[in-house]
Amino acid sequence: MMTTSEQTEPMRVLLLEDDASDAHLAIHALRQLPTGAKVDLAVTRKDFTELLAAHQYDIVLADYGLPNWTGMEALRELRRLGFDTPLVVVTGELGDERAVECVKAGAADYVLKGNLARLPIAVSRAIADKRLRDTALLSQRMMQQAKDELYTDSRAAQYALEESGERFRKLTEASFDAIVITQDGIILEANRGFLGTFGLQRMEQVVGRPLTDFIAEESRSDLEWRIANNIEGTNEMVGLREDGKEIFIEATARNHAIAERTVRITALRDMTERRALEHQFRQAQKMEAVGRLAGGVAHDFNNLLTVILSYADMLLEGVAPHDPRADDLGEIRKAAVTAGSLTRQLLAFSRQQVIEPRVLNLNDVVASSEKMLRRLIGEDIDVKTELSSDPLTVMIDPGQLEQVMLNLAVNARDAMPSGGRLTLETESVTLDAEYAREHWPAHAGRYAMLAVSDTGSGMDEQTRSHIFEPFFTTKGIGKGTGLGLATVYGIVKQSNGFIWVYSEIDHGTSFKIYLPLVDEVPEQYAAKSESGAPRSGTETVLLAEDAEPVRAAARQILERYGYTVLEAPNGTAALNTAKHASKIDLLLTDVVMPEMSGRELAAGFTTLKPNAKVLFMSGYTDDAIIRHGVLRPGTAYLQKPFSPETLARKVREVLDSSGA
């Protein structure tokens, strides 16, 4: 048996998943485990049973819906075969009621495919729980065996007390829990688990000392009271290792009468890691809940903003520059653009913003952004860059990386109202398992590190613990949305990285962003630039959109740019139109529609019109086309809200592309 912190071999994982892309994403998420993971893939019941017979697995991950069977049937099969391996359900859609049913039926946990960042946490927690259960059962058996032997008769009891050290250790040597026999609070015997738990090397460092020597001051009085009053049972306390480090302890004590004397057998379990995992789980749940809410709000709001922006721009086209109405329309447009920016930040936080990751040298993006940052933060702040001499190849959306630096620079500027220094530093770092345990949500591995540091006012611990929560801000009313750092958090997490913050009052703040290094050749990076008005066209576009106001606005925009537009309020109507239309050059479809999704519509449409192009649009990304916010290769996508110019430019780009 091995504790989570001591495991050095990769976790052995059996993954039941019939979708190859989903399996790839799950395997990628499992790489974030401190030990890594060796994953075997199964689809059918036969695959499952054969792999179980051939290998010993630490955990099973099962899609809820599999071809001809379910993840819960896999759980029942696992138990029928006599395996107590934990099983975590990984699914695209699972309501709260069904999720509870899965857990009640014996599943260790469930993870939504839209939030695979939580998968390593769920896996670690499930395995840690199983090991704790195994240790508890072993400890109970050993204590019961010791109790039976100690009570055989008074002579045997006396022998057990006076010459019992070796026998006690034999009974308890397999346990990683700390187990001690005490009399009047003084340790008579201890097992090897006690040495490991409290960082000791020799039994001579333990025997003869008060048990309270190994308990932090805040818990000693409670322990002394329990010993003095022979209180049995389980309680929590803070332990104290030999090196001074405090650990969380769950102690279970039982009193035993031996030869007219009372001894106390106590099992002390180190709960520090479990506490950390529970904290991580609660944090992940909180962020996931807020993210779901943000995504749902953004979807509906983006539809409304698309209509507002579209009609405002179309009205502006017909108004002379000096017309008083132009200013009014300009204010409407400005408000809609600002609102659109807020919804994009909400989507970024919830990791539902669509990204186009590329293999880039981090140094190139930082260097190209330096001028922009200097203009942004003003002349009273000195900007300094210290870039690694080695290329740092990462997989990230360059626009989002620029957004991260922009938001952090704005945050730093606000913390230095009287001027100061902003430093951007990059380097290659390797983080070990110990660092990862102490710096949640870090994972062991090789990273490119980007540090953005300022000499500003700094933060206290209370403020630092809330900075990534949406709408949390220390600025005055009207001076901030509280989404800047939440956006940074979401972008970094969506790019499979993590962020750590160091700050002291009056000594500045340093945000350190860690992005996984990849072994690929980086692309040449150049900032995107779009100039000139979008070109018009004469092609025929099939527009599928269930929101009537959005559909009407998109139709008017496309017709103004010369296109012939065929409308459909849903997927069924769109396929009907496609069957009878002699020519359609492009399908422009919303991703999320009732009855038939944009993905399903596109599949049927391309069968009917194999030479036509497809352009997806949506206000959020909770769909298989762009699951997890990452565009699949060859997918053309337009994020709502969009302006008439943006729509026209994207339609022209897709029609002119060489892909199918």
- Give CA–CA dist 325/346, Å, rounded: 32
Question: Region 462-480: what's the mean pLDDT?
Answer: 63
pLDDT value at 80 more than 50 = yes
The tokens 């017309």 sit on which residue?
323
Max CA pair span of the chain: 109
Task: Please tell me which residue, 358 or 508, carries the higher pLDDT value.
Answer: 508
CATH topology of domain 151-270: Beta-Lactamase (3.30.450)
Tell me which of 134-143, 428-437, 475-484, 488-497 is least confident: 475-484
State the DSSP H helix or E strand holding residue 198, giving kind and residue range, or none if neither: helix 192-198
Predicted pLDDT of residue 3: 39
In sequence order, what are the residues at sequence separation of 6 or more whose Cβ sits closer than 8 angstroms to the Cβ of residue 177? 135, 136, 139, 193, 197, 267, 268, 269, 270
Distance of CA 476 to the CA centre of its chain: 31
Residue 332: C-alpha distances to residues 308, 316, 424, 469, 580 (Å): 8, 11, 37, 29, 41
Predicted pLDDT of residue 246: 92
pLDDT value at 92 more than 50 = yes
State the DSSP H helix or E strand holding residue 348, giving kind and residue range, or none if neither: helix 324-349
Counting runs of H as helices and runs of E as strands, what totals does the chain give? 20, 24
361-401 tens-digit pLDDT: 999 888 888 887 887 787 888 888 899 988 899 988 887 88
What integer best gives the mean pLDDT of the chain? 81
Tell me which of 110-114, 150-154, 200-204, 267-271 is least confident: 150-154
- Give CA–CA dist 57/51, Å, rounded: 9
CATH architecture of 540-656: 3-Layer(aba) Sandwich (3.40)
- Give CA–CA dist 387/364, Å, rounded: 9
* CB burial readout 399-432, b (16+ within 10 A) else e: ebbbbbbbbbbbbbbbbbeeebebbbbbbbeebe
180-235 tens-digit pLDDT: 889 999 998 888 889 989 999 898 899 999 999 999 999 999 999 999 998 888 88
Tell me which of 52-56, 155-159, 367-371, 651-655 is least confident: 155-159
- Give CA–CA dist 656/586, Å, rounded: 11
| Length of the chain (residues) | 660
Predicted pLDDT of residue 288: 65
Predicted pLDDT of residue 568: 93
Closest Cα partner for 425 from 492, 373, 363, 489?
363
Name the band, by pLDDT with cuts 50, 70 and 90, for residue 570: very high
- Give CA–CA dist 246/307, Å, rounded: 58
- Give CA–CA dist 546/18, Å, rounded: 31
Residue 335 and residue 383 in contact, taking contact as beta carbons nearer than 8 Å: no
Closest Cα partner for 444 from 431, 459, 426, 455?
431
pLDDT value at 546 more than 50 = yes
Predicted pLDDT of residue 4: 36
pLDDT value at 174 more than 70 = no
State the DSSP H helix or E strand holding residue 204, giving kind and residue range, or none if neither: none
Q: Is 62 left (phi over 0), alpha (psi -120 to 50) or beta?
A: beta
* CB burial readout 234-245, b (16+ within 10 A) else e: eeebebbeeeee
Residue 309 and residue 340 in contact, taking contact as beta carbons nearer than 8 Å: yes
- Which string of DSSP letters, residue by residue, matches 104-152? HTT-SEEEEGGGGGGHHHHHHHHHHHHHHHHHHHHHHHHHHHHHHHHTS
498-531 tens-digit pLDDT: 888 888 888 889 999 999 998 888 777 665 555 5
- Give CA–CA dist 123/108, Å, rounded: 9
Question: What is the residue type of 237?
Answer: M
Strand partners for 360 = 394
Other beta carbons within 10 angstroms of residue 387's beta carbon come to 18
- Give CA–CA dist 68/416, Å, rounded: 61
pLDDT value at 39 more than 60 = yes
pLDDT value at 548 more than 60 = yes
What's 4-131's CATH class? Answer: alpha beta
- Cα angle 475, 481, 486 (rounded to 5 degrees) comes to 100
- Give CA–CA dist 502/505, Å, rounded: 11
Predicted pLDDT of residue 359: 87
In sequence order, what are the residues at sequence separation of 6 or more whose Cβ sits closer than 8 angstroms to the Cβ of residue 272? 247, 248
Name the band, by pLDDT with cuts 50, 70 and 90, for residue 165: low
Question: Region 333-358: what's the mean pLDDT?
Answer: 69
Residue 598 and residue 571 in contact, taking contact as beta carbons nearer than 8 Å: yes
Closest Cα partner for 591 from 646, 541, 655, 546?
546
Predicted pLDDT of residue 145: 58
pLDDT value at 613 more than 90 = yes
Task: Please tell me which residue, 462 or 597, carries the higher pLDDT value.
Answer: 597
Share of the chain above pLDDT 70, in %: 78
| Per-residue tokens: 424 | 């951007």
Task: Please tell me which residue, 300 or 351, carries the higher pLDDT value.
Answer: 300
- Give CA–CA dist 451/508, Å, rounded: 13
Task: Please tell me which residue, 471 or 552, carries the higher pLDDT value.
Answer: 552
Closest Cα partner for 563 from 635, 654, 658, 660?
654
Name the band, by pLDDT with cuts 50, 70 and 90, for residue 281: low
pLDDT value at 535 more than 90 = no
| Per-residue tokens: 277 | 């995992």
State the DSSP H helix or E strand holding residue 157, giving kind and residue range, or none if neither: helix 154-162
- Give CA–CA dist 571/532, Å, rounded: 34
Phi, psi of 350, rounded to the nearest 5 degrees: -80, 5
The tokens 């899965």 sit on which residue?
102
Distance of CA 383 to the CA centre of its chain: 32
Please state the three-class secondary structure of 408-476 as a single string.
HHHHHHHHCCCCEEEEEEEEEEEECHHHHHHCCCCCCEEEEEEEEEECCCCCCHHHHCCCCCCCCCCCC
Residue 126 and residue 167 in contact, taking contact as beta carbons nearer than 8 Å: no
Question: What is the residue type of 356?
Answer: E
First-residue to last-residue Cα distance in the chain: 54
In sequence order, what are the residues at sequence separation of 6 or more whose Cβ sits closer than 8 angstroms to the Cβ of residue 273? 3, 4, 5, 128, 437
Q: Is 654 helix (H, G, I), strand (E, B) or coil?
A: helix
2-21 tens-digit pLDDT: 333 344 578 899 999 988 87
Q: Do 4-131 and 540-656 share a fold?
A: yes
Domain boundaries, the chain: 4-131, 151-270, 355-516, 540-656
CATH for 355-516?
Answer: 3.30.565.10
The tokens 């057998």 sit on which residue?
265
State the DSSP H helix or E strand holding residue 515, giving kind and residue range, or none if neither: strand 509-516
575-603 tens-digit pLDDT: 999 999 999 999 999 888 888 888 889 98
Closest Cα partner for 425 from 455, 454, 453, 392?
453
Name the band, by pLDDT with cuts 50, 70 and 90, for residue 624: very low
Task: Please tell me which residue, 307 or 186, carries the higher pLDDT value.
Answer: 186
Closest Cα partner for 118 from 275, 272, 293, 287?
287
- Cα angle 115, 471, 515 (rounded to 5 degrees) comes to 45
- Give CA–CA dist 534/561, Å, rounded: 9
Residue 133 and residue 125 in contact, taking contact as beta carbons nearer than 8 Å: no
Residue 311 and residue 555 in contact, taking contact as beta carbons nearer than 8 Å: no
Q: Report DSSP state, residue 630.
A: B
Tell me which of 93-102, 390-399, 424-433 is least confident: 93-102
